[in-house]
């Protein structure tokens, strides 16, 4: 089975009131690991967003690294939608424009 046909998942954390300048990848994986990430998120009452394009980009970021600036807009749109959903004003699903298919190599100055 190729990597593109296996289930993949990435988990983000972001504390806008804390020390996080940008969301960080806290877990990612394929296959059984991806299933465990999704299962644990659901058990914790966290929202699980399904977007193959977004996950593909997030899988290119190292665990415990901040997302690169190129993903700020897409992730911000998702976080804003989640905030609206939690406050009772959200739509059924977010509209997030993810146009990049591959992230360029980044330097520490970008993060």
Q: Which helix (H) or strand (E) holds 13?
A: strand 8-13
pLDDT at 86: 80
Beta-bridge partners for 29: 9
CA dist., res. 53 & res. 84, Å (int)? 22
Domains plus CATH for the chain? 8-106 (3.40.1690.10)
Which pLDDT tens digit goes with each residue over 10-22?
999 988 777 778 9
Q: For residues 101 and 26, which has the higher predicted lDDT (pLDDT)?
A: 26
pLDDT at 88: 80
- In the DSSP assignment, the letter for residue 19 is T
Query: Which range is least confidently modeled, 36-45, 62-71, 87-96?
Result: 87-96
In sequence order, which residues have a C-beta less than 8 Å from that of residue 36 and are 6 or more positions away?
Answer: 29
Tokens representing 77 are 């749109």
């Amino acid at each position: 089975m190729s990597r593109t046909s296996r289930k993949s998942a990435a988990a983000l954390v972001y504390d806008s009131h804390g020390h996080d300048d940008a969301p960080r990848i806290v877990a990612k994986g394929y296959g059984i690991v991806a299933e465990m990430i999704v299962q644990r998120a659901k058990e914790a009452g966290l929202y699980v967003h399904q977007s193959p394009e977004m996950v593909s980009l997030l899988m290119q970021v190292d665990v415990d690294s901040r997302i690169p600036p190129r993903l700020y807009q897409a992730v911000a749109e998702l976080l804003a939608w989640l905030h609206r959903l939690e406050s009772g004003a959200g739509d059924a699903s977010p509209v997030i424009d993810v146009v990049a298919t591959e992230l360029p190599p980044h330097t520490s100055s970008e993060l």
